[in-house]
A and B are shown apart, each in its own frame.
Chain A
Amino acid sequence: AQSVTQLGSHVSVSEGALVLLRCNYSSSVPPYLFWYVQYPNQGLQLLLKYTSAATLVKGINGFEAEFKKSETSFHLTKPSAHMSDAAEYFCAVSVPSGGSNYKLTFGKGTLLTVNP
């Protein structure tokens, strides 16, 4: 069965520092992977997606993620954190749900705090 594990429920960085949010996946088929961001009291916004093209995926707001099959990882990074990056981040994997339908399985989320 497909699943994702986000290591670290809370990550704290200083403004200008590297952001690294970890996601490992488990999948019996080639996975499709996604990162979402959620600001307080808002819905989830898609940051980026991996769909078996380039292994290094660039997303919005300066974020990128690298798909590493050998490590079953899809970590999210940003070279320099901004205060506006403070939010909760979710990793997700696409899972077959019968027939030709799919649904997403989400990790439990990582809350990113950015300190001035």
Chain B
Amino acid sequence: SQTIHQWPATLVQPVGSPLSLECTVEGTSNPNLYWYRQAAGRGLQLLFYSVGIGQISSEVPQNLSASRPQDRQFILSSKKLLLSDSGFYLCAWSVRISNQPQHFGDGTRLSIL
């Protein structure tokens, strides 16, 4: 069966520090991969999605970037964190068929001090 791993679960970082969040998927090949942010009291905001190695689509201009160095690895990064980057970050995967759902990791709670 397929599983998705996301780490760390919790992260506290100072303003201006770098960020690297990692997500890996097991048990499937060529998945679509997604990064979402969920701010307090808001819904899910799609940040990036990827349909293959090195292929990244950005949904919103921001302080973050994403990379996909391997088929089942998706990384969210920042060179210098802002206070507004605080939130709950979720990684998800799906197969490349329109009627199939996305499957989510357990999320990373990021607090910027």
Q: Do A and B bind each other?
A: yes
User: Which residues from chain A sit less than 8 Å from chain B, CB to CB?
Assistant: 32, 34, 36, 41-46, 49, 51-52, 90, 94, 96-97, 99-104, 106-109
| A90 vs B46: C-alpha distance when bound (angstroms) | 14
Q: How many B residues have CB within 8 A of the partner chain?
A: 26
B102 touches A104 (CB 8 A): yes
| A25 vs B107: C-alpha distance when bound (angstroms) | 27
User: Which residues from chain B sit less than 8 Å from chain A, CB to CB?
Assistant: 6, 32, 34, 42-44, 46, 49, 51, 57, 88, 90, 92, 94, 96-99, 101-107, 109
User: Which of A51, A52, A96 has the largest count of B CB atoms less than 10 A from its CB?
Assistant: A51
Contacts of B51 in A (CB 8 A): 99, 101
> What is the minimal beta-carbon distance from A51 to any residue of chain B, in angstroms?
4
Nearest CB to that of A98 among chain B residues? B57
| A54 vs B44: C-alpha distance when bound (angstroms) | 28
Nearest CB to that of B107 among chain A residues? A43
B98 touches A102 (CB 8 A): yes
Indicate which residue in B32, B99, B102 contacts A101 across the interface (CB closer than 8 Å).
B32
| A42 vs B101: C-alpha distance when bound (angstroms) | 17
> What is the minimal beta-carbon distance from B94 to any residue of chain A, in angstroms?
8
Known: A41-B109, A43-B105, A44-B104. 17 other contacts (CB 8 A): A43-B6, A45-B104, A46-B103, A49-B101, A52-B99, A94-B99, A97-B57, A100-B96, A101-B96, A102-B32, A102-B94, A104-B46, A106-B43, A106-B44, A107-B43, A108-B42, A108-B43
Contacts of A49 in B (CB 8 A): 99, 101
B107 touches A42 (CB 8 A): yes
Contacts of A41 in B (CB 8 A): 88, 107, 109
| A108 vs B45: C-alpha distance when bound (angstroms) | 10
